A and B are shown apart, each in its own frame.
Chain A
Amino acid sequence: MQDLLYFSQQLINGLTIGSAYALIAIGYTMVYGIIGMINFAHGEIYMIGAYTALIAITGLTALGLAWLPLILIVALLCAMLVSSSMGWAVERVAYRPVRGRHRLIPLISAIGMSIFLQNYVHLAQGSRNIGFPALIEGGFNFSADGAFEMSLSYMQITIFITTLICMTALSLFISRSRTGRACRAVSQDIGMASLLGIDTNRIISATFIIGAALAAVAGLLLGMYYGSVDPLFGFIAGLKAFTAAVLGGIGSIPGAMLGGLILGVSESMTSGYLSGEYKDVVSFGLLILILLFKPTGLLGKPEVEKI
C-alpha cells in the first residue's frame, strides 16, 4: 500500500509536469510541421510568458484586486498577449527572411534569437530568480496507515484542467475552423496550399501565435507550480518540450501531448526512484535514443527523403 501510494504520487507529479510540457511542445511541433524548422527561441517565449504573468499578478494585487480567479484570468490573458506578440515578432524578424535557405541557417538564427531574448529579460528584470506567489494552495491528501501521505494539490488539478481546456480548444480549432483547416493544408504541402489561394505567410504567423499563446499558459502554470522564475528558466524547459515533441513524433499534435505526458512521468519516476539530479540526463538520454532508433517518434509519419 505504501509503495503504491508513493508510486501514484510520482505518477501524479509526472502527469502534472508532463501536461505543461505538452503545452510547450505543441508550439515546437506545429512550427516544425509547417516550415520544418526547430524554433529554438520557443523556450524563451515561454519564459517571457511566465514573467509577464508574474508582473500582471503583482500589478493587479497592488491595485487592490482580491478575487483570485479574476487575477489569474487577467494575468493569463496578459501573458498570452505578450507571448503571442513576441512569437509573431520573432517570426517576422528572424525566421521569415531566412525561410527556405539551407536548414542550418534558420536554426542558427533561432539560437541567436534565443540568446537575445534571454539577455533581454536578464537585463530588464535582473538575473536572480524571483519567487512566484503560491496563489492556489491546499489539496487533497490520501494516506494509508503508514507515514507516507499522497497529496493531490489544487494547483495540480488546476494544471490538469487548464491543459485539458487548452488542448480541447486547440483540437476543435484545428479540425473545425477555417484557419485550422488552412493550417493542416499548409503543413501537408505548402506550395500547393498557396496555389489554392491560402495566404501561407498568415498561416505561418498564426502558427507562431498559437504556439506562443500555449507556451504562455504553460509559463503561468509552471511558474506557479515551481514557485519561481528566472531568465534561464526557459532553456531547459524548452529542451524538454522539444524532447516531448520528438518523442511523440514531431509535426503531430496528439503526439506532442502524448510525448509530454510520457516525458513528465519518466522524469518524475527518475527523481522519485533514482535521484533528482539525474532527471535531466534521463530526458536527454531518452531524446538521443528516440532519435537514433525511431526518428519519427511514436505517432509521427515517416519522412521520405526526396531527391
Chain B
Amino acid sequence: MAANNIRHALFCAIVTLIISFPILGLSLEAKGVNITLSGAKTSTYVAIVLAAVAVFVFQIFRDTFMGALGKLPNLNPLAGREPMEQNKRVKLESWLLTGIVVFALFWPFLVSRGSVDLATLVLIYIMLALGLNVVVGLAGLLDLGYVAFYAVGAYTFALLSQYTGISFWMALPIGALLAGLTGMILGFPVLRLRGDYLAIVTLGFGEIIRILLNNWTTLTGGPNGIGGIPEPTLFGMEFGRRVKEEGNTSFHETFGIAYSGEHKVIFLYLIALVLAVITALIIRRFMRMPVGRAWEALREDEIAARSLGLSRTAVKLSAFTIGAFFAGFAGTVFASKQGFISPESFVFLESAIILAIVVLGGMGSQLGVILAAIAVTILPELAREFSEYRMLIFGAAMVLMMVWRPQGLLPVRRVQITLNKQG
C-alpha cells in the first residue's frame, strides 16, 4: 500500500510538472515574423517545483489530511446548531434586505463619483443575477446564453433612441418586453430538451445573437457599436449642463442649484437601485406564488411534478420569459449608463460571470445572490493589482464551489412542515 501510495504521489507530481512547465516556464514572443522562446523568471521555476513538491506531499498524506479536514467542521461552534426557525429566518432576511436598501439610498451622497458609478454597475449585475436566479436557481434550467437577452434590452433602447428618439422611460418597458418575448420565442422549442443540451443550445443562441450584432453593420453599427444613447430624465428634467431636447428643462436650473456632474451619476444610481428593488420584490412574490412553487417542483423531480398535473412547457416557459424580461430591464439601464454599447459587452464570459454569481450566492437564494453580485463586482476593483487574475480565480472558484459546496454560500432553506406524531 505504501509503495503504491508513493508511486501515485510521484505520478501526480510529474503530471504537475508536465502541465505547468511548458506553458508557464517557456513563453513565446513574436518578434516581427520570427517567434522566439524565452525562459521565465527564476521565481516561476521555483514556484513550479514547489507546486510539484506540494502535490507530492499532499498525495502521500492524502488520507490523514482528508481525515483531519473531515473533523474540522466539529471545531465550528455553529455546525451542530439547529437551523433557525422558518419565520424567524424570513423576518431576519427581510430586515437585512430593508437595511441594505436604506443604507444604499443614502450612501451615494457620502462617497466619490467613481464609487457611485461602480455601485450602479453592481446594481445592474444584481438585476441580471436575480433574473438568472429564476431560470437557473429556481427552475433548474441552465441558461448559458443569458447575455443575449441583456443584449436585446440594451440594443432595443439604443436602436429606438437612434431611430425614433425614444426616451429612457419609454424604452424601459419596451426593452424588457422585447427581451421577454425573445425568451419566449426561443424557449418554446428548446425547453423540452434535457438539461445539458439546453445549456448548449442557449449558448449557441447567445453566440448567434452576438455574431448578428457584430455583422449586421447597417443596423447595429457592427463592432463600432451605437453611441449617443440618452440619459434618463426626471419628469422632463435633464441632467446635462445644457438641455439637449426642446421642451425639457434642466435639473439644476429648476431647483436653482449649481450644476454638478454628480447629480447625473447619483440619479442613475438611484434609478438602478429602484429597479433592482422592484426586480427583487417581483421575483420574491413570484417565488411564493403557485408558479414559483411549480418551478421548484419541476426542478426537484420532473416526472413527479408532471404526474401531479403541472404542464412542463408552461412552467419552464414562464421561468425563462421572466428571466429574460429582467435581463432586458438590466440591459436598458446598462445602455443608458454607458451611453454607448457594442457587441463586446455581450460575450459568453458575461453569461459565465452572471452564472458564477448565481452559483456562488446559492442557487435560488435572493439574499445570497445579491451579496455574491456585490462581492464579484467589487472585489476585483479593490484588489486592482490582482485584477488580471480575476478570471483565473473566478474559474477556480466555480470548480471549488461545485466540489465543496454546490448549494452555494447562502443556500435557500426549503419551506417545510413537519407532521407531529398523532397521539
Contacts and interface: CB of A to CB of B under 8 A. Distances in A.
B402 interface: yes
A116 interface: yes
B170 interface: no
A180 interface: no
Interface string A112-136: 1111111111111110101101000
B355 interface: yes
Contacts of B189: 292
A291 B197 CA distance: 7
Interface string B359-385: 100000000000000000000000000
B166 to A, nearest CB: 29
Interface string A262-279: 000000000000010110
Interface stretch (B20-28, B110-118, B261-269, B337-345): B20-28
A66 interface: no
Interface in B383-423: 388-389, 391-392, 394-399, 401-403, 406
A278 B22 contact: no
Contacts of B348: 235
A46 interface: no
For the residues of B in contact with A, the DSSP-based class is: helix
A163 interface: no
A109 interface: yes
Contacts of A105: 402, 406
A89 B397 contact: no
A284 B208 contact: yes
Interface residues of A, number: 69
Given A59-B26, A115-B394, A131-B33, A89 B403 contact: no
B15 A109 contact: no
For the residues of A in contact with B, the DSSP-based class is: helix
A146 to B, nearest CB: 30
B62 to A, nearest CB: 12
Given A103-B195, A281-B212, A131 B30 contact: yes
Given A55-B28, A130-B35, A287 B200 contact: yes
B201 A123 contact: no
A112 B352 CA distance: 8
B282 interface: no
Given A108-B355, A242-B200, A126 B27 contact: yes
Interface in B320-369: 348-349, 352, 355-356, 359
B96 interface: no
A98 B398 CA distance: 12
Nearest to A97: B403
A290 B194 CA distance: 13
Given A58-B28, A107-B199, A52 B22 contact: yes
Given A52-B22, A278-B211, A94 B399 contact: yes
Contact of B395 (A51, A101, A113): A113
Interface in A148-169: none
Contacts of B392: 115-116, 119-120, 123
Given A115-B394, A131-B30, A89 B23 contact: no
B273 interface: no
B37 interface: yes
Nearest to A117: B395
A74 interface: no
Contacts of A278: 211, 215
A88 B15 contact: yes
Interface stretch (A6-14, A77-85, A186-194): A77-85
B302 to A, nearest CB: 9
Interface in A281-307: 281, 284-285, 287-288, 291-292, 295, 307
B204 interface: yes
A107 B142 contact: yes
Interface in B193-214: 193-197, 199-201, 203-205, 207-208, 211-212, 214
A288 B399 contact: no
A270 B322 CA distance: 35
B290 to A, nearest CB: 24
Contacts of B402: 94, 98, 105-106, 108-109, 112
A86 B19 contact: yes
Contact of A101 (B212, B399, B406): B406
A15 interface: no
B71 to A, nearest CB: 19
A284 B394 contact: no
B205 A288 contact: yes
A104 interface: yes
B352 A115 contact: yes
4 tightest A-B CB contacts, nearest first: A112-B398, A116-B395, A115-B395, A284-B204
Given A89-B19, A115-B352, A118-B395, 14 more contacts: A78-B22, A86-B19, A89-B15, A94-B403, A103-B194, A112-B395, A112-B399, A112-B402, A117-B395, A119-B395, A124-B24, A242-B200, A280-B207, A285-B204
Interface of A: 37-38, 48, 51-52, 54-56, 58-59, 62, 78, 81-82, 85-86, 88-89, 93-94, 97-98, 101-109, 111-126, 128, 130-131, 133, 235, 239, 242-243, 246, 275, 277-278, 280-281, 284-285, 287-288, 291-292, 295, 307
22 contacts: A38-B199, A51-B28, A58-B36, A82-B19, A93-B399, A103-B196, A104-B196, A107-B199, A111-B398, A116-B394, A119-B395, A122-B391, A123-B388, A126-B28, A128-B30, A239-B204, A281-B211, A291-B197, A292-B193, A295-B193, A295-B197, A307-B303
